[in-house]
Amino acid sequence: MPFARAIHSMRSKTCEPGCPSHDRPLKYLSPPLTRQPVRKSLHNNNHTPEHSPASSKIYPPQSYIAISTQAVYSGQTPMLARIALADYWGTILLDTFVQPTQHVTHYGTLAHQYHQQLHAAPTLDVVRHQVMGHIHPTQNQNKILVGYAIWTSLAVLNISHPTISTRDCAVFEPFLHHLRTTQMPPLPILTNRFLGRNIGIIEPEHPVESARAALDLFRSNEQRWEGLIDQGRWPSSLPPQAYAIYFT
């Protein structure tokens, strides 16, 4: 399977002393339908995991694109409702609603004032073409996707992306080790704990805010993250196996 081969050699190496093992499955929490409260145990003056030596291979800023999506549902089937893309500096490259492909039975975290905008929004095919133009600008070039639970965005877009070209804050093992958890912390928890700021105050979930938060989390540990990858030590737990088809 291409997904497994992409990081097979990295999985056999230890990411960091004390980090959760690649052989122990990560417990995935269901996406919250309301904003999760910040746990008091995460409040202290140390917001950043300890640093490792600087990377010898840092990609240029234009190599990265942050992605965040928001879904509505037809029964149990998620459908793309809104998507945001941002460059390395947080400038928004794309922010659009998306016309649902089926009848909506549940709007998830999409704020009520946006429900009517879905009907006049671009179709999924149009938006997918725009997204591909950003993350695959040429046939042989892939941007590095930064985000939170990137597999959910790939799934609702129904596209795939190289595993090695993803930087997912939801499963970055130094974050999990620092929080002493094997569960996937909600993005507001990570943002509060490691950046010292709160998100989801005005709206429970907003793709622009989420994309920038994931980007800032990555940038706060960029040298360490890229340094581990450069050493052949993949620093993230694997996405759920059900989403393996979205990685190459």
Instruction: Sheet with 92-97: list strands edge to edge.
Output: 92-97, 77-87, 64-74, 144-147, 166-168
Structure tokens at 26: 């990560």
d(CA 18, CA 12): 15
> pTM score, two decimals?
0.78
CB atoms within 10 A of CB 185: 22
Q: Are 207 and 127 in contact (CB under 8 A)?
A: no
Structure tokens at 143: 């941007």
Predicted confidence band of residue 204 (pLDDT cuts 50, 70, 90): confident
SS3 68: strand
Q: Is the pLDDT of residue 23 over 60?
A: no
Average pLDDT over residues 94-112: 95
Average pLDDT over residues 230-238: 93
Per-residue model confidence (pLDDT) at position 57: 57
The amino acid sitting at 245 is I
At 125-145, the pLDDT tens digits run 999 999 999 999 877 789 999
Q: Are 232 and 9 in contact (CB under 8 A)?
A: yes
Q: Which of 194, 172, 192 is nearest to 184 (CA)?
A: 172
At 24-57, the pLDDT tens digits run 333 333 333 222 333 332 333 344 444 444 444 5
82 or 31, which is more confident: 82
Q: Which of 7, 202, 11, 50 is nearest to 188 (CA)?
A: 202
d(CA 194, CA 148): 14
Instruction: List domains and CATH numbers for the chain.
Output: 2-30+61-246 (3.30.420.10)
CA 80, 35, 200, 151 torsion-angle sign = negative
Per-residue model confidence (pLDDT) at position 154: 98
Average pLDDT over residues 57-86: 95
Average pLDDT over residues 231-239: 93
Q: Are 215 and 166 in contact (CB under 8 A)?
A: no
CB atoms within 10 A of CB 191: 25
Average pLDDT over residues 10-26: 38
Q: At what angle do helices 222-230 and 207-220 cross, to 10 degrees?
A: 70
Pseudo-torsion of CA 112, 118, 124, 129, nearest 10°?
-100
Q: Are 52 and 122 in contact (CB under 8 A)?
A: no
Q: Is the pLDDT of residue 72 over 80?
A: yes
Q: Are 243 and 154 in contact (CB under 8 A)?
A: yes
